[in-house]
Structure 1
Amino acid sequence: MAKTGFLSLMFLLLFAASRSTLSANSPNNSTDKSALLALKSHITHDPHNLLATNWSTSTDICNWIGVTCGSKHNRVVALNLSSMNLTSTIPSPLGNLSFLASLDIRHNSFHGALPVELTNLRRLEYLNFGNNSFDGEIPAWFGYFPELRSLIMHDNNFTGVIPSALANLSKLEKLILYNNYFKGHLPSGIFDNLSKLQELDLNENRISGRIPKCLFKCKKLRFLSLYTNFLEGSIPIEIGNLTELRVLYLGDNKLKGEIPSDIGKLTSLEEINLSYNNLKGKIPPVIGNLISLQVMGFYNNNLTGQIPSSICNLSSLRGLSLSENSLDGTISECIGNMSSSLSHICLQNNNFHGKLPDNFGKNCMVQNLEINNNQVEGLLPRSLGNCKDLMLLHVGNNNLNDTFPNWLGNLDQLQVLNLRSNGFHGKIYISDGTISFTRLRVVDLSHNNFSGYLPMKFFENLHVIRERYESKVKPEYMIFPSLDGVVWYAQDLSFTTKGLEIEFQLLLTTYMAIDFSDNKFFGEIPKTLWELHSLIVLNLSHNYLSGPILSSLGGLSELESLDLSSNKLQGRIPMELNNLGFLEVLNLSQNNLVGLIPQGKQFDTFSNDSYRGNPGLCGLPLSKRCDNDEETPAKFDRDGVAVDDELNWKFSILMGYGCGLVLGMSMTYVAFATGKPWWFIRIYERVRRRITKT
């Protein structure tokens, strides 16, 4: 009995001790609470008062915003303060949260040094400091988290090299460090021990040297991105070891050599981007083995030869970008056959020839087709009319020979149409009752053989450009949405803007441009142009346009570039053009314009080149002075006719008629009364000769 009583007493003592321990480690214990209150005291900006009001000493910390406690020990196991717009530093007492397994403070403005006391977080599995303002080097002690599976520190200002101590994180599955300022080589042995690594994202840093071969020992890698660094050398053939890889981004580096054929072993690959490098040679035919491939980007390299026929095996391909290479041959008809899945076709700036495939099916999913700057010929494929989602068509700088594709007017998603520098010809005819380019924002028909009058109906249908641009609306980049949520941007597009050929890496939706230059259009400028309120660029140069410059063009308040040069325009330059407050480029040269050049505002910024080849123009910036009666700026009506001149002419006729009648009757009476009609006749002849001279 004594022994039993002793054991019972010991049990009670142990139970009491355990209760005491649980009480000490309860949500109200001073350790966790003081650690979190220390963090709260370091926060200098809490715009939504999320912590200021909720993190109260009178409230159970397990009910605090962002705090999660474990059910077993009631200790803080997770802290999530993401996207709260907080500004703070990390206090050293935060390392006292010894049960913490997840720490997420992404999308804030945390800054300053990282305290070494964080190494006390031995249970930490998930650490996300992404999108903050931390700087300096990553301390070597970051390798002392034995349970860490995710280390995410992207979008900060970290510098220095990636510490080799990260090799100690043997359980690491995600290492996300993109968009920082890391430099130097990747540590050669860092990946030897990271056998569980599945995601590695180091893009947009300053990492140099070769891709270490030990990286390809991480056979569980599914996502590998080294995009936008300074890596050099060739792509190691060991890349074929990554048989579970789904995403491979090695673009925007200094890689050279050929694309290794071992890349054909990556049969799980869904996206590959090797763009913006110095790769050469042919596209390996084994690319056709990547049957899961959805996106292939090899643009901006030195690749040669033809597109391998094996590409036709890629039935899941959505995006094909081979632009800016030296590829040749014809464009396979299988490209058209793949249009039911292929939404982005970018083949510009190569040496492709022959005709374009004309087998785009009724289920065509193509959103952008860019085949500009090649040598393709023949007609524009009529089957493109099946591509109801087509938003961008760029076939400029080729040898196409066709009439204007008015059938494209039925594509109500079309926003950018570029046919420049081909052999398109004939009149532009838009029939009634069609959709007719209602969403078109950019149209470039320059350097062709179009003729006839400028198409008034075409301009009337440009509803997007006709709408007034609201300055409060935030400009956005033109994107091509897709069903899987992936965003494609309209990029690397070139247009003649402000007299220069400009390449737009990204195209804003507010960019509105019309370029009909270097054709054979004639007649007057259509009055409907003044209704295109959001137009930024208008180029009608090098045609046979006649008549006046419409004063109503002064209502195009967003216009930045106006080129009407090398036509047969007549009359004065309307003063209303002075209302174009954003106008940066004006070219009215080589016309038949006359009179005083408007002065003030934007006109004070234009040089002689804007007016050359108009002998009848005078005033600054030209050296030719105007007559006194031209020094006063004239007013014009909406058709470019000087209002004052018309009124003065009518007034002069009336005054001349009235005064002439009285004076004539008086002189006639005097002449015949004095018997000297020769005096009247001499005056009459002198006035008649003066009128004849003028």
Structure 2
Amino acid sequence: MGNTSLNLALLIIFHFSMPTFSMKLTTILTDQSALLALKDHVIHDPENVLTTNWSASSPVCNWFGVSCGSKHRRVTALDLTGLGLVGTLPPHLGNLSFLSLLYVSNNCFYGGLPVQLSNLRRLKYLSFGNNSFSREIPLWLGSLTELRTLFLYQNNFKGVIPFSLGYLSKLEILSLYENQVSGSIPSSIFNISSLQKIDLSDNMLSGSIPSVPRALLSLELIDFSSNNLSGHIPKDMVDHLPNLKELSLSLNLLSGRIPASLFKCKELQLLSLVYNQMEGSLPIEIGNLSMLQYIYIGRNHFEGIIPPEIGNLKNLELLNLDLNNIAGSIPPQVFNISTLSVISLDTNRLSGHLPSNMGLFLPNLEELYLGANYFVGSIPMYISNASQLTLLDMSNNYFSGSIPDNLGNLRNLKLLTVENNILENFLFGSNPFISSELPRVVGNLSSSLEVFSAYSCNIRGSIPSEIGNLSHLINIELGGNQLIGQIPTTIRGLEELQSLSLVYNKLEGSIPSELCHLNKLAFLFLTNNELSEPIPACLGDLTSLRQLFLDSNMFSSSIPSTLTRLNYLLILYLSSNSLSGPLPVDIGKWKVLTSLDLSNNQFSGDIPTGVADLKDLTHFSLSNNRIIGSIPEYFDKLLSLEFLDLSRNNLSGEIPKSLKKLSYLKYFNVSFNRLEGEIPKGGSFGNYTIESFKGNEALCGATRLHLLSTTGREHLKFKNCALSILQVGLECSAELPNERLHMEEVVTKLKKIKVKLLRDMRRVR
């Protein structure tokens, strides 16, 4: 009550003080000065509209975006929508005392709103939407009592919604969506009897939804979605909104049940409650909302059954109940609503058989989601009568029998997934009784098909060449089967293909050059097959590639230098092949690479300096190759590195102490090389175990790892020296004189032993 009184007092001050500044005699010259001030505050005018058109030498009423009244010839409207202007609003705009419309939406104005705008007492239409205004929504907006529309959407306003907005008794539309306002929704908003639409979505509002104390006969739209509102939907809120058409409260923290009074809103066309924590069953009264077109109540905790009364909603176009705990069977009445275009019931506890005539009365159905439920029986054959279907998901159920052949009649079908059922013929995904081959008729499926998924179906045989007929395919998933033979050359016909996965099969032969013509291919997964021969150089032409997995095959020869053309490559796995030769010298061209696995091959030579340019690299494995040389100092530039495995190579020299800079390095392995010197201390090296360093006889330090200390190394050097001297002695005492060393040879060998000992001792210390 105290805040309300304070707000009212401040408004009274505004009301009686601000007019004193505008009671001066004003003329069209006053308006001209105000607009020229606005022009001066614009720092960028990409269309040169104000620059070329707004001039003191021409009448103000002829300026672009300016309208004047016929009686007083004063500026009554200023509309600068969508000109891309950058700048701030000057206080001089408060002198446009006859202004009733101010539109500056869809520009790049920034800063706050000048308080002088409170002088514009004739203002009816105000739009500051889609700019970069910031600071708090000013309290004085509540003094513009003639306002009909207030658009502040898509800005950076912060703070709370002023209670004073409730004093705008003639306001019809209030739009504040996509800002950063917080706090609670002021209850005063629902005192505005003229209000038609209120949109406060995509903010940071919290608290409960305020009650509606009296009937608001004009209110048609409420959108409070994407906030942090909590509590129940107030019963009296919907009690007093008989003409409400859209209610969107999705993406909040609301709980409780749907109030029964909601079903008094006979004009309701859209109900959106998705992503909340609501519970209870769906009231049968929902069937009374005969105007409903869109029901979004998925991703809550609703339970019970789908009321058959939903079949009364003859205008329903979308039914979304997914990710709830709804049980029972689907009422057959649902499939008689001919206006439906989307049915989404996946991830519930629905069970039973689908009606045999499902599809006969759904001429407009485009998307049907029934996945992750407990349906049994066969897939109805009449589903093919829903000729507009583009997406059909019946996965993760207990469907049995065959997939209807006439699904091939669905010429608009883009996605069909029935994986994880107990179906008995070839098609689509993790059906344990499927063990046949892909038939050639697969090429007769809808040419609109975009996703072909048959992962882990125990499919045998080869990939039919007819698959190349599916010219609109975007994604092929045939991994985890028992496919044999070669990748068909007809794959060249899949010009829209973006992802190809054939992992964990028994494919053989080479990668066909025809695959290199798939210019949109971004993901190529061929892991764990029996593919052989050199990696084709033409793969370097697939410049859209983001991920390339060729690991666990039998590829030979070297990495084609052309692969470094793949400038957008993020992941490259070539491990467990028979690749050899040096690493590409221009490896640094893979500048966005995050993961590189070349382990278990026969690569040789040094680690190329270009690795230093792989600044985004997080995973790098070269283990089990024939790499020589030292660990490069420049590895310390790979600051994102989390995994580095250089084990089982022929690396020599010391471990660079600069690697301590790699603060994200969780896994480090240099075991079984020829490294020497002291293991670095500090940084991540305090976390590694002996497994990271074993098999390097000349490494020392890190007593916690039980490697040799410096003293122990000195002892080892002396021992090796003594053994060398003993060897000379044995050669001097050979039985036959002609086999004994000459004195000059003895001196030479002893000098070499001395030099080596002194050099080794310096290294140890």
TM-score range, shorter chain: 0.7 to 0.9
Distance 1:450 1:259, change over 3 A: farther
Q: Residue 537 of structure 1: which of 494, 499, 512 is its match?
A: 499
After superposition, residues 298-337 of structure 1 pair within 5 angstroms as: 298-337=297-336
In structure 2, relative to structure 1, the CA distance for the partners of 1:607 and 1:169 (3 Å cut) is: closer
Structure 2 CA distance for partners of 1:436 and 1:535, relative to 1, 3 Å = same
Alignment of 1:218-617 (within 5 A): 218-238=216-236, 239-338=238-337, 340-357=338-355, 358-361=357-360, 364-403=363-402, 407-424=406-423, 425-426=425-426, 427-429=437-439, 436-462=445-471, 464-465=472-473, 512-569=474-531, 571=533, 573-588=535-550, 593=554, 595-596=556-557, 598=559, 601=563, 611-612=575-576
CA contact (8 A) 2:579 2:602 kept: no
Amino acid across the alignment from 2:210? P
1:547 CA displacement: 4.0
Aligned-pair CA distance for 1:550: 2.6
SS in 2 for 1:180: coil
Secondary structure of 1:158 counterpart: coil
Q: Which runs of 5+ in 2 are unaligned?
A: 1-24, 427-436, 584-597, 606-765
Per-residue deviation at 1:168?
1.5
Q: What is the CA distance between 1:65 and its match in structure 2? A: 1.6
Identity percentage of aligned residues: 39
Matching residue's letter, 1:558:
K
Shift of 1:573: 4.3
Q: Counterpart in 2 of 1:87? A: 86
| Aligned counterparts of 1:566 and 1:355: Cα–Cα separation in 2 | 39
Aligned 8 A contact 1:173 1:196 in 2: yes
Question: What is the distance in 1 between the residues matched to 2:342 and 2:389?
Answer: 10
Deviation of 1:113 (Å): 2.1
Instruction: Indicate if the aligned counterparts of 1:25 and 1:74 stay in contact, CA closer than 8 A.
Output: no
Q: Which amino acid aligns with 1:379?
A: S
Determine if contact 1:347/1:370 at 8 Å carries over to the other structure.
Answer: yes
8 A Cα contact 2:153 2:177, kept in partner: yes
The amino acid that maps onto 1:207 is L
Structure-1 residue corresponding to 2:68: 69
- 2:520 maps to amino acid: E
What SS does the aligned partner of 2:388 have? Answer: coil
State how 1:620-659 maps to structure 2 within 5 Å. 621-625=598-602
Q: Deviations over 1:490-520 (max 9, x none)?
A: xxxxxxxxxxxxxxxxxxxxxx211122345
CA contact (8 A) 2:532 2:556 kept: no
Q: Indicate conservation of the 8 Å contact 1:192/1:217, yes or no.
A: no
Deviations 1:641-686 (A, max 9, x none): xxxxxxxxxxxxxxxxxxxxxxxxxxxxxxxxxxxxxxxxxxxxxx
Distance of aligned partners of 1:281 and 1:625 in 2 relative to their CA distance in 1, 3 Å threshold? same
- 8 Å contact from structure 1 (residues 25, 75) kept in 2: no
Distance 1:622 1:100, change over 3 A: closer
CA positional deviation for 1:39: 1.6
Q: Which has the higher contact order (CA 8 A, sep 6+)?
A: 1
Q: Is the 8 A contact 1:42 1:88 kept in 2?
A: yes
Q: Aligned letter for 1:227? A: S
Deviation at 1:450, TM superposition (A): 4.4
CA contact (8 A) 2:171 2:195 kept: yes
- Mapped partners of 1:406, 1:539: distance in 2: 25
User: Distance in 2 between the 1:75 and 1:105 partners?
Assistant: 19
Equivalent residue pairs, number: 550
Closer/same/farther in 2, CA of residues 198 and 37 from structure 1, 3 Å limit:
same
Output the amino acid matched with 2:211: K
Give the conservation status (yes or no) of the 8 Å contact 1:119–1:142.
yes
The Cα shift of 1:63 comes to 2.1
**CA deviation profile, 1:461-493 (whole Å, cap 9, x unmatched):** 32x35xxxxxxxxxxxxxxxxxxxxxxxxxxxx
Distance 1:54 1:369, change over 3 A: same
Matched, 1:146 2:108: no
Aligned to 1:659: none
Mapped contact 1:191–1:214 kept (Cα < 8 A): no
Question: What is the distance in 1 between the residues matched to 2:362 and 2:304?
Answer: 31
CA distance in 2, matches of 1:180, 1:72: 39
Residue type of the alignment partner of 2:450: R
CA contact (8 A) 1:422 1:447 kept: no
Contact 2:574 2:599 in 1 (8 A): no
- Measured after TM superposition, the shift of residue 406 of structure 1 is 5.4
- Counterpart residue identity of residue 203, structure 2: N
Q: Greater shift after overlay, 345-354 or 380-389? A: 380-389
Are the equivalent residues in 2 in contact too, given 1:454–1:526 (CA < 8 A)?
Answer: yes
Q: Any idea what SS the aligned residue of 1:389 has?
A: coil
Relative to structure 1, the CA distance from residue 138 to residue 428 in structure 2 (aligned partners, 3 Å threshold; closer, same or farther) is: same
Shift of 1:164: 1.0
Task: Tell me the equivalent position of 2:693.
Answer: none
Q: Give a deviation string over 1:6-64, Cα, whole Å, max 9, x none.
A: xxxxxxxxxxxxxxxxxx987xx312222222222222222222222222323322222
What's 1:484 paired with? none
Whether the aligned pair in 1 keeps the contact of 2:279 and 2:301 (CA below 8 Å) is yes
Deviations 1:571-590 (A, max 9, x none): 55445445544544444456
- Tell me how far apart the structure 2 counterparts of residues 215 and 399 of structure 1 sit (CA, whole Å): 51
> Kindly tell me: are residues 287 and 295 of structure 1, through their superposed partners in 2, closer, same or farther at Cα, counting changes over 3 Å?
same
Task: Name the residue aligned to 2:116.
Answer: 117
Displacement of 1:192 in angstroms is 5.3
Distance 1:250 1:215, change over 3 A: farther
Match of 2:739 in 1: none
Contact 2:527 2:551 in 1 (8 A): yes
Q: How far is 1:618 from its partner?
A: 6.3
Aligned to 1:633: none
Indicate conservation of the 8 Å contact 1:90/1:110, yes or no: yes
Q: Which amino acid aligns with 1:394?
A: D
Give the residue type in structure 1 aligned to 2:251. Answer: D
Unpaired runs of 5+ residues, structure 1, are 1-23, 466-511, 629-694
Shift of the 551–401 alpha-carbon distance from structure 1 to 2, 3 Å rule, reads: farther
Aligned residue number for residue 182 of structure 2? 183
Secondary structure of the 2:189 match is coil
Question: Which residue does 1:643 correspond to in 2?
Answer: none
Query: Secondary structure of 1:366's match?
Result: coil
Deviations 1:521-567 (A, max 9, x none): 44332111134344221112344444443344344343332223444
The answer to whether the 8 A contact 2:308-2:334 is kept is: no
Distance 1:590 1:400 in 2: 35
Partners of 2:600 and 2:214 lie apart in 1 by 72
Contact 2:230-2:254 at 8 Å conserved across structures: yes
* Closer, same or farther: CA 435–527 of 1 in aligned 2, 3 Å: closer
* Structure 2 partner of 1:168: 167
Structure 2 CA distance for partners of 1:200 and 1:624, relative to 1, 3 Å: closer
Retained in 2: the 8 A contact 1:66–1:80? yes
Provide the C-alpha distance between the structure 1 equivalents of 2:165 and 2:131, rounded to a whole number of angstroms: 21
Q: How many Å separate the matches in 1 of 2:465 and 2:573?
A: 30
Distance 2:461 2:82 in 1: 59
User: What is the TM-score of this pair, normalised by structure 2?
Assistant: 0.67
